Chains A and B, each alone.
Chain A
Amino acid sequence: MSRAADGHQLVMVDNVSKIYHVGDTFVNALLKASLTVKKGEFVVLLGPSGSGKSTLLHLIGGLDRPTRGKVTVDGVEFTDKPESVLSKLRHDKIGFVFQSYNLIAGLTAIENVELPMIFDPVPQSEARKRAKGLLELVGLGGRLDHRPSQLSGGEQQRVAIARALMMTPSIVIADEPTANIDGATAASLLDLMADLNRKEKVTFIMASHDQRVVAYSTRVVKMADGVIQDDGQAGEPRPSA
C-alpha cells in the first residue's frame, strides 16, 4: 500500500503542480510535489526563498488551488471544490500562523483569538472562555485586552498561535513564523510549538529557511526551485532541542 493510500494520513498532496501566469510567461512555483503528513507530526519545509514552501502551504491550507494534482486534508479532497468548501475546511480543520502575524489591529488579543468562532452558533461566553484558556496556554494570560500595537512581535505571534488553535484544528500551518522576530523570542516560540505538538498532539507543518527550526521538528522536507528534493522519514524521533 502506498503512503498516500494509508488511511492514517492527515494530509495527502498527490503530484501537485502550481503554475502562475505572469504577463506572457509561466512561473512554475511548484512541480509535481507529493507529500503525506501523519497526525501528530511536526513537519518543517526547509528551503530558500522561492523554493515553493509557501505555495505548498497555501495549497495544503486551502488558500489556493493547484494547477494539477490533488490535495486532501483530513479526508476532504478539495482541489475542484467551490470556495465555500475551502472556507469550511479552513474553519474546521486548519489553523494558520503567518510571518506577519496577521492580527486585526482594531481588536484586542482575546477578540483576535475568538475571531474564527465569532459567527458560530456557540455562546459568546463559551468562546471567550476558550480564547482566554488558549491565551493562558501561550503565556499571555495577562494580555487579554491588549491590542496588537501594544504587544511585541513575539507576543503577537503567540496570539496568532492561540487563534490558530481556537477551532481545535486537525493541522496548524505556519509560514515562516519566526522570520520577523529576534533569535531568543523565536526560540521560545518554537519551544511553545514543539510543546503543543508533544503535549497537545497538534500537527504542525512549518515553512522556514532557518536551519535552527530543524531541531524542533520530527521531520524535515527539503525544497528547492519548486521541487521536493528530500522528504525526511515520517515518525523520526525528535532530536533534542
Chain B
Amino acid sequence: MFYRIYRVASRNIVREGRQALLPILTIGAGVTLIFVTQVFSDYLRQQAAQVAGLFGPTASSDTIFESSRWISVIVLAIGAIETIIVMTRNVFRRTKEIGIMKTVGIKSGIISFIVVMETFLYGVLGGAAGLVGGLVVVLLLAASQLSLEPVLVFLPAAPSAGIYAFGLAVASAVVAGLYPSYRALRLSVLEAVSHNV
C-alpha cells in the first residue's frame, strides 16, 4: 500500500513538471544555507565576534551568528509556504480527479495521504538538492582564502549538519502538506466529480 501511494505521488510530481521546481528549489536554497551555516558555525562565530567588535558594545557575536541562522530558517519557511501554495493549488486543480478517485471507492484517507506523500517528496528532493548545493558551497568556501583553514577542518561537521538540514526540510514539507491534505479529505465526492476548472 505504502509503495503504491509513493508511486502515485511521485507520478503526480512528474506530471507537475516545471511547476514542481519552485518549492523544490526554494527548500533546497534553505537547506543549503542551513547546511553551510552549520558546517561553518565555529568559523562564523569567530567572524561574527570580529564584526561585533566593529559595532561596539551594542552588537554581540551571538546576535550576529543567530541572525545568520534565522535567515536560513526563514528561507526554508518560504520553501514550506510555497509547498503549501503549490499543493493547495494542485488539490484545487485536481478536484475532479480526486472526485473520480473517490467515486471509484478509493478512500479519502488514502487520497489525503497521497497529498502528504507528495509534499514529503518535495522535502526529500529539495533537501537532496540543497545538500548537494551546500556541499559545493562548503568546498568552494573552504578551499578559498576566506577561511584561512584547510578543507578537512570543516568536513567532520558535515554529516550532522546534513542530517539536521535535511530533516528540517522534510519535516517542514510534511507540515506544509497537512492543510492541502485536509482540503482533499473534506471534498464532497459529488461536488468534486462535478467540478469543472
Contact = CB atoms under 8 A, between A and B. Distances in A.
B193 A91 contact: no
A64 B190 contact: yes
A83 B107 CA distance: 9
A140 to B, nearest CB: 18
A164 to B, nearest CB: 9
A118 interface: yes
A92 B105 CA distance: 8
B4 A118 contact: yes
A119 B1 CA distance: 6
B8 interface: yes
B14 to A, nearest CB: 9
B16 to A, nearest CB: 10
A104 B8 contact: no
A102 B107 contact: no
* Contact count band on B: 20 to 34
A42 interface: no
A167 B103 CA distance: 13
A106 B15 contact: yes
Contacts of B38: none
Size class of the A contact interface (CB-based, 8 Å): 20 to 34
Contact of A63 (B15, B108, B193): B193
Contacts of B107: 84, 87, 119
Given A104-B97, A106-B15, A115 B190 contact: no
A58 interface: yes
A226 B105 CA distance: 27
Interface string B90-110: 000000110111111111101
A53 interface: no
A90 B1 CA distance: 20
B105 A58 contact: no
Contact of B106 (A92, A94, A106, A118): A118
B115 to A, nearest CB: 15
A116 interface: yes
Contact of A90 (B5, B103, B110): B103
Contact of B108 (A87, A92, A106): A87
B33 interface: no
B189 interface: yes
A205 to B, nearest CB: 15
A87 B99 CA distance: 12
Interface in A128-185: 163, 166-167
A179 B190 CA distance: 19
Contacts of A94: 105
Interface in B98-130: 99-108, 110
Given A104-B97, A118-B4, A119-B1, A90 B104 contact: yes
Contacts of A86: 189
Interface string A62-99: 01100000000000000000011011111110101010
Given A87-B107, A87-B108, A102-B96, A115 B101 contact: yes
6 contacts: A63-B189, A63-B190, A63-B193, A90-B105, A92-B105, A116-B106
Interface of B: 1, 4-5, 8, 11, 15, 96-97, 99-108, 110, 189-190, 193
